[in-house]
Amino acid sequence: MAVVVVTDSSARLPAAETHRWDIRVAPLHVLVDGHDLCDGVDDVPADLYTRGHVTTAGATPAELSALYRQAVLDSGGDGVVAVHISGALSSTLGAAEHAAAEFAGLVRVVDSKSAAMGTGFVALAAARAAAGGADLNDVAVRAQAATAEVRAFIVVHRLDNLRRSGRIGTAASWLGTALALKPLLRIDEQGQLVLAQRVRTTSKATAAMIEQVLDVVGERRAALAVQHVDNPGGAAEVAATLESALPACGPAVVTDLGPVLGVHLGPGAVGVVVALAP
């Protein structure tokens, strides 16, 4: 048997990757008009991002405990490494740590200190180590190391939703809104979403994001993901630009950010995640 890797639906891993590496995915929750919808399981309304009273919730300890229990059984006792969305952005990490306490060290929880494919790339690094025969400790160590290899940037049209949900500071939100500036955000080393740069237009913010990605990658090899909220055209343009500028990195993974993240980021958002080669 082998160590099993678990992540959550905020990672937005393509189904082909979860199947290839046997990564288990815990659904997070979208709360719409009193209905609790499981991300990636239940259908969400097409007009989700224009509704005024939509919230999200992390996976519960009970949900994670059930998923971990099955994963431990499937590992044949080799154990589980659970890679989740940043603890600074979601309650899921705390729930994961609570659930893991039931398993006497057989479940190791890793804070990805990121979100979306930032979490996904860390989970993939862990899964590759597990597939290569690494034991529980070594898979957890590889996952922890991968968190330092990931950088994430995103351009959003407004900061109101992030301010209301507490994902970004009130002062940063006010500056972006009051001055009609388009914010470029990044996830910092503590896994917090912070303001990286303010520019006058969305096109300039996107150009600034691409420049930051080019600076981060430099001459190194890296995996790239371009993700969006209801903006496939914008994501495709960014992906094409990066693939042209960074041919050694290969094609970028292009996916939507899904409802759990999209509710907070708002429609039109486009982001880039970089996973530097170790």
The rounded distance, in Å, linking the Cα atoms of 12 and 186 is 18
CATH 3.30.1180.10 maps onto the chain at: 150-276
User: Which one, of 225, 223, 235, 224, lies nearest residue 269 by Cα?
Assistant: 235
For the domain bounded by 150-276, which CATH number is listed?
3.30.1180.10
What is the structure's pLDDT at 171?
A: 42
Q: Determine the Cα angle at 187 with ends 145 and 7, to 5°.
A: 55
What is the structure's pLDDT at 172?
A: 52
What is the structure's pLDDT at 28?
A: 97
CATH 3.40.50.10170 maps onto the chain at: 4-147
How is residue 58 written in tokens?
A: 């992390």
Q: Which spans in the chain are helix H? A: 15-21, 61-74, 92-100, 117-131, 136-147, 160-164, 170-178, 202-217, 232-245, 258-265
Burial of 98 (0-12, 13-18, 19+ CB in 10 A): middle
The rounded distance, in Å, linking the Cα atoms of 107 and 136 is 9
Give the mean pLDDT per block of 10 residues along the chain (278 residues). Answer: 96 96 97 88 82 87 98 98 97 98 98 98 98 98 98 87 59 51 88 87 94 96 97 98 95 95 92 96
What is the structure's pLDDT at 90?
A: 93
What is the structure's pLDDT at 168?
A: 56
CATH T-level topology, domain 4-147: Rossmann fold (3.40.50)
pTM assigned to the model: 0.93
The rounded distance, in Å, linking the Cα atoms of 219 and 226 is 20
What is the structure's pLDDT at 170?
A: 46
